Amino acid sequence: MHTRQLWREAVKPDVNLGDAQPGPSPHKITHGAAQRVLAAMKIERGASTFLELGSGHCLVCFSAVLDHGASSARGIELRALPCEWAKEALARLKRSTPVPLDIEFACGDLVALLAAPDRPSATHIYAFDFDYPPEVLYAIATYLYLERDAWRVFASANDAKDWLCVLREMRAPGHVLDFFERHFRERRTHYSVTLAGGANARHTIYLFDNERHASETVVAPPPPLPVETGVASAAMIRV
């Protein structure tokens, strides 16, 4: 089954389980948008591991493995019904796919799961977190600090200033702030993504590289700043 077919099924109102309002979820990015963001994350086929925070129907998890070659994918979602849909979709995929699929979903509170001793670990982390409350963003930030030796690339709907504001608002310890100020590098290329289900809203996805692994991460260097202005303009990709 092609991942595009999974997207078509998941945006139908009758499988839009657990959303606050009837109809297609306002929080799903389109299949094309997900493909571009995942490609920009530079997943290494057969080597990278993927984690989606607030995974909904876990569509991006499926795509990370099936389309981009991540060796494994984990999704964390609070709502039980979308997780059940994802598990049923995974069962169908396993019956039709000859190769093993290392994809798992955890249904529960994101804050608690990220703080647990057996919290998941990954090299590539994605969070479509444009409307997450400060306490959840703080939990993600704390997790990124705790897992600083593991992750390479993080994709978020919040930019570097947003993350620092959350950390200061939540009175983060100095060593956590120091990590974000020194090692949390925002790329100059951003992605403007369209939402699925006919929604008109767009959101920007920001990509971050973990500077602790700068020598290991296969990422093209950013372009030099224009001499005449000293300001680099962000490249926007519309999908």
In which region does residue 192 sit, left (phi positive, over 0), alpha (psi from -120 to 50) or beta (all else)? beta
pLDDT for 8 = 85
Confirm whether 221 is domain-assigned: no
Q: CA torsion angle for 130, 9, 51, 107 (degrees, to 10)?
A: 90
Domain count, the chain: 1
**172 pLDDT higher than 80:** yes
Do the domain assignments include residue 219? no
Is 196 part of a structural domain of the chain?
yes
**Which pLDDT belongs to residue 201?**
66
Of residues 231 and 51, more confidently modeled = 51
What CATH number should be reported for the domain holding residue 27? 3.40.50.150
**Mind listing the pLDDT tens digit for each residue in 72-121?**
999 999 999 899 999 999 999 998 888 889 999 999 999 999 999 999 99
Conformational region of residue 35, where left means phi above 0, alpha means psi within -120 to 50, and beta covers everything else = alpha
Residue pLDDT, tens place only, 9-55: 886 655 555 554 433 344 578 888 899 999 999 999 999 999 999 99
Q: Is the pLDDT of residue 224 over 80?
A: no
pTM over 0.95: no
Q: Work out the end-to-end distance of the chain between its first and last CA atoms, rounded to an integer number of angstroms.
A: 23
Burial of 83 from C-beta contacts in 10 A (0-12 / 13-18 / 19+): buried
Contact 192, 170 (CB under 8 A): no
Token pair listed for 27: 């929080």
Q: Is residue 220 assigned to a domain?
A: no
In angstroms, the CA 30 to CA 80 distance is 22
- Taking residues 158-168, report their average pLDDT: 95
Looking at the predicted structure, is the pLDDT value of residue 193 above 80?
no
- Joined tokens for residue 147: 């897992």
Domain that holds residue 180: 3-213+226-238
What per-residue confidence (pLDDT) applies to 191? 73
Residue 189 resides in a domain: yes
Assigned domain for 218 exists = no
DSSP E strands: which ranges in the chain?
49-53, 72-77, 103-107, 124-127, 153-156, 184-186, 189-194, 202-210, 235-238
In the numeric block, the tokens 């001499």 are attached to: 227
Answer yes or no: is 131 within a domain.
yes
* Cα–Cα distance, 210 to 216 (Å, whole number): 10
Q: Which backbone phi and psi does 160 adopt, to 5 degrees?
A: -60, -40
Where is mean pLDDT largest: 33-37, 196-200, 218-222? 33-37
